[in-house]
Chain A
Amino acid sequence: MVLQTLKNCLWPSCVLRAPKACFWSAASGGLVIQSISNDVYQNLAVEDWIHDHMDLEKQQVLFLWRNSPAVVIGRHQNPWQECNLRLLRQKNIKLARRRSGGGTVYHDLGNINLTFFTTRKKYERMENLKLVVKALKALRPQLDVQVTDRYDILLDRQYKISGTAAKLGRTSAYHHCTLLCNADKFVLSSVLKSPYKGLKSNATPSVPASVKNLFEEDPSLTSEMLLDAIAKEYAVKHQIDHRITLINPADETLLPGISNKTKELQTWEWVYGKTPKFSVSTCLNMAYKDSVLDVKVNMDVKHGRIEVCNIDLPEQWLPPGLYSELVKSLTGSKFCPNETTSLVTTLLRLCPQDDELLSRWSLLCENMIRLM
């Protein structure tokens, strides 16, 4: 396998002629590229860039990438429903929303990602997955791996080792899938469990599955070996040299516009704001002095912002003026613990400074923030 940097195969004439990238590799048929970055946003941006700018008519592309710990949700999913956002923040695990459909996955360096770029007409997921299975079997013939009709790959007929998603545009399409080599299953199962109750939404739900690492089946396997085997199989299929071209997702000259794409993927508006409309209907059990208060809370969240907010507090528990200020400020505010914390602590400056009031306010606000 030959690893080369992109500079080795630049075609100057191609660069001048067509900004729509055809400057990668003279070899027709196919191209295998691998990202040198482990940043999930940068790598997703590369996918976007290839999808938007590369001419895939003459040359299909296989993109290989791995990420440092991140949870990736599908285009139309609800992150509150899909994962434990509190835990993600604590552990500094990134949250990303990809542009393709499908369910939520956990990525770390023990998981490899494969993206098959083709024209819209040549979009064919089964073929791609069969190629992956073929590569795995060529590497380790004793592996019991097969593709299901849900486009998953199962190990030993029961454990999911790969999930699939796809994105179709006007002229191009891509199909990407994960492959569990040696991911941290403990972290995976804890972050993919949502603690948020009372959520109602039409967002695409994930289908939970038992997972297993290929490493558990055969400890001699590494991510690098898997990447290489799949690249090799792809090269054979497209009759190209077995070489992997490395790309740097931060290279703006090579990928003009990539930093904007990377930035966009990190914005709150994209990650959280693209959540389909949902409602939260729950009961806060607040322990106050010697009793427990049951406070019903109902909120409608659209574009990640609170559209409607109802908090059913006992009368006069908070001064009415303050309560209405709270509801007014929450309406239109992001459904986000940081935003809400800043909001409620700022509003507190307007209250009369008596301890009883302050403790009630803090209690209510802490509980509200926990919903987010």
Chain B
Amino acid sequence: VCIHRVRSCSSIRFIKSKYVCVFDKSALKFSHQQRLFRTSAVSCGQIVQFKLSDIGEGITEVTVKEWYIKEGDSVSQFDSICEVQSDKASVTITSRYDGVIRKLHYSIDDIAFVGKPLVDIEIDASKGVAPEEDVVETPPMSHEEHTHQEIKGHKTLATPAVRRLAMENNIKLSEVVGTGKDNRILKEDILNYLAKQTGAILPPSPKAEIVPPLRKTEPVPAAPKDKARKIPVPVSRPIAFSGKDKTEPVTGFQKAMVKTMSAALKIPHFGYSDEIDLTQLVQLREELKPLAEIRGVKLSFMPFFIKAASLGLLQYPILNASLDENCQNVTYKASHNIGVAMDTEQGLIVPNVKNVQVCSVFDIAVELNRLQSLGSAGQLGTSDLTGGTFTLSNIGTIGGTYAKPVILPPEVAIGALGKIQVLPRFNGRGEVFKAQIMNVSWSADHRIIDGATMARFSNLWKSYLENPASMLLDLK
């Protein structure tokens, strides 16, 4: 049952629809006021001019600040249409009707007048052919927001959205117990009724759902206008998945990453992985952590990994080099600016610790702390993010063991560190002991780095970490 309600007050003017309609002549009664207007199969709606209602405090004009809809969009009653501002008050104007927006009378920053048309809405035509007996003249609408219908002399209060839900499920409103104000039928009541009929257990609707949600946010391109997002589909019907794909443009930082990664994959990568026994390092760090804390610094494993890498680079400087565009020259960089991959809200950024070759493990820890706090606050500067010569990615803090990292140009090598796991291993005496094992996966530029170099570097790095005391011998 779908009956049109029409306001009897003179503020509404009907504009004869410009669409071709097919009428059942006997049912056609067209007049200005509250007569009904029913059509058959082809949709043909009335266009109603929705006027800007009184704001209060004697205000006659407002500025239109934002539209939430555009011409052609469907709206339901109570959906937000626009935001207007008047003298420090921001007002959300909501739709009084269900229908399709046909015209916006103002642009952003225009002055809109109270009592004048704001938008034209084409009101939904009835769905399908309504049976004869339902063509009744309804009494004039008062200022009540909700429509009501008289069925068998029993007044039933329900919003159009609720009545539509009932209609879609072939439910007679008179059979539903209303739990709202004045025995108004709410969405929950329809759902409970359905649950009893089908024996299905429907998910409870969120408490906040009594008032149909106002659309306060600007529509994202291609985002579905999901009126029904919280109405569960009854089990007796086939479950329809109404999710829609969402397309967004690739912009800003992401766009830059696309360019860089595409360039990176032009580099012929080879991989080399190994397993490191960090049992001794874990112990050492436990001992040093409180000392660092006294100095106000958080000590993780990274400073050790970074310093060991730098010591390794002193022996294998080709891993800290750069190949020029035409692959004609190799530049051996003097500074070991070791980058540390960081995962932030906007994605992967790689700040670097400058001149690790002259830094102590503690210096590196201090610098890492600084970079980490700037990184999470989104305040890293350009100098922190440029000039890197070699990169370590501690993906293990999130998880994983083996990885295949991508070299960040203009560098020629990168290492990905997996998580530290406690695993059983055999010692020199053939006994099983508890070992703290971490995997490392290196990638290098095969144009100038060969497997043997990478392997030897990795072995050296591994030996420093498996036996931290040996780092003391080579510290500068």
* Contact of A52 (CB < 8 Å), options: B89, B214, B347, B380: B214
Taking CB atoms and an 8 Å cut-off, the chain B residues in 182-222 that contact chain A are 206-211, 214, 216-218
* Contact of B251 (CB < 8 Å), options: A99, A333, A346, A362: A333
Q: Say whether B358 faces chain A, with CB atoms less than 8 Å apart.
A: no
* Contact of B85 (CB < 8 Å), options: A101, A332, A338: A101
Interface 9-mer from B122-130, B131-139, B381-389: B381-389
Q: Residues of A contacting B83 with CB < 8 Å?
A: 75-76
* Contact of B88 (CB < 8 Å), options: A103, A338, A350: A103
Taking CB atoms and an 8 Å cut-off, the chain B residues in 298-313 that contact chain A are none
The CA of A175 and the CA of B87, in the complex, are separated in Å by 12
* Contact of A19 (CB < 8 Å), options: B66, B108, B208: B208
Question: Contacts A347-B259, A348-B386, A350-B259 known; A170 to B94 CB distance under 8 Å?
Answer: yes
B346 and A342 contact, CB distance less than 8 A:
yes
Interface 9-mer from A1-9, A36-44, A136-144, A160-168: A160-168
Q: Residues of B contacting A256 with CB < 8 Å?
A: 206-208
Q: Mark A263-289, 1 if CB is under 8 A from B, else 0.
A: 010000000001011000000000000
The CA of A349 and the CA of B260, in the complex, are separated in Å by 7
Q: Say whether B71 faces chain A, with CB atoms less than 8 Å apart.
A: no
Q: Say whether A84 faces chain B, with CB atoms less than 8 Å apart.
A: no
Sorting the interface of chain B by its residue count into under 10, 10 to 19, 20 to 34 or 35 or more gives: 35 or more
The CA of A276 and the CA of B347, in the complex, are separated in Å by 27
| Distance to closest chain A CB from B106 (angstroms) | 14
The CA of A125 and the CA of B58, in the complex, are separated in Å by 12
The CA of A57 and the CA of B85, in the complex, are separated in Å by 24
The CA of A18 and the CA of B209, in the complex, are separated in Å by 10
A329 and B255 contact, CB distance less than 8 A:
yes
The CA of A121 and the CA of B55, in the complex, are separated in Å by 9
Q: Say whether B427 faces chain A, with CB atoms less than 8 Å apart.
A: no
Taking CB atoms and an 8 Å cut-off, the chain B residues in 374-405 that contact chain A are 377-383, 385-386
B386 and A170 contact, CB distance less than 8 A:
no
In the complex formed, the residue of B with least CB distance to A365 is: B382
Q: Mark A309-336, 1 if CB is under 8 A from B, else 0.
A: 0000000000000000100111111100
Q: Residues of B contacting A339 with CB < 8 Å?
A: 252-253, 346
Q: Residues of A contacting B378 with CB < 8 Å?
A: 338
Q: Residues of A contacting B210 with CB < 8 Å?
A: 18-20, 53
Q: Say whether A219 faces chain B, with CB atoms less than 8 Å apart.
A: no
A169 and B260 contact, CB distance less than 8 A:
no
Q: Residues of B contacting A352 with CB < 8 Å?
A: 324-325
Taking CB atoms and an 8 Å cut-off, the chain A residues in 147-198 that contact chain B are 151, 164-171, 173, 175
* Contact of A99 (CB < 8 Å), options: B90, B252, B257: B90
B89 and A353 contact, CB distance less than 8 A:
no
A74 and B331 contact, CB distance less than 8 A:
no
B385 and A345 contact, CB distance less than 8 A:
yes
| Distance to closest chain A CB from B25 (angstroms) | 40
Q: Residues of A contacting B347 with CB < 8 Å?
A: 342
Q: Residues of B contacting A68 with CB < 8 Å?
A: none
Q: Residues of B contacting A346 with CB < 8 Å?
A: 253, 256-257, 259-260
* Contact of A165 (CB < 8 Å), options: B89, B206, B377, B382: B89
The CA of A74 and the CA of B325, in the complex, are separated in Å by 51
Q: Say whether A239 faces chain B, with CB atoms less than 8 Å apart.
A: no
Seed contacts A167-B92, A170-B92, A341-B381; 17 additional CB < 8 Å A-B pairs: A89-B379, A101-B87, A166-B89, A167-B91, A168-B91, A170-B94, A171-B211, A256-B207, A257-B206, A276-B108, A325-B259, A329-B252, A342-B347, A343-B255, A343-B256, A347-B256, A350-B263
Could you list some 10 contacts between A and B, CB below 8 A?
Answer: A19-B209, A76-B90, A166-B89, A168-B89, A276-B109, A341-B380, A341-B381, A346-B259, A347-B259, A350-B260
Q: Which residues of A contact B (CB under 8 A)?
A: 17-20, 52-53, 74-76, 89, 92, 99-103, 120-121, 123-125, 151, 164-171, 173, 175, 202, 204, 256-257, 264, 274, 276-277, 303, 305, 325, 328-334, 338-350, 352-353, 358, 362, 365-366, 369
